Amino acid sequence: MIESLATTDLTSEQMEAMKRDVLKALDPGYEKKQEKFIQKAQKSIEKRGTEGSFREYCGGEVTMACIQKGLKSDDPAIVKKANYAKNIDAIKEEIS
């Protein structure tokens, strides 16, 4: 079994699915922790008053192309927001 996996080419989606399965098996509360992370981050954004600022940077709609552009920005605040948007998108996919 292990030998066959070692010679199999896996897509990034398949590897992410395997990672999620392992994390869920090791920590049954994994999904709840991810949901709490989102809620905690959202409260912080609302408290600072920066909600929607990355959407504004993207011209009204946050797309993967805009996230990639933001990750390459010279402005560290934009890079941080782009990375957050990328992570939130990945977490939302995991939960659903």
Mean pLDDT of 18-37: 72
Flag whether 1 is in a domain: no
Question: Does residue 7 form part of some domain?
Answer: no
Residue 5's pLDDT is what? 55
Distance CA 48, CA 68 (A): 24
- Whether residue 91 contacts residue 38, with contact meaning beta carbons closer than 8 Å, is answered with yes
In a domain, 74, yes or no: yes
Q: Give residue 26's pLDDT.
A: 75
- pLDDT of amino acid 90: 65
Q: Tens digit of pLDDT for each residue in 76-93? A: 999 988 988 888 776 565
Question: Is 35 contained in some domain?
Answer: yes
Q: Which domain holds residue 53?
A: 12-95
Q: Are 67 and 73 in contact (CB under 8 A)?
A: no
Check the CA dihedral 82-83-85-86 and report its sign: positive
pLDDT at residue number 1: 47
Per-chain mean pLDDT for the chain: 77
Split into its structural domains, the chain has a count of 1
49: left (phi over 0), alpha (psi -120 to 50) or beta: left
For residues 30 and 69, the model is more confident at: 69
So what's the pLDDT on residue 74?
A: 94
Q: What is the pLDDT of residue 41?
A: 76
Which distant-in-sequence residues (6+ apart) come within 8 Å of 13 by Cβ? none
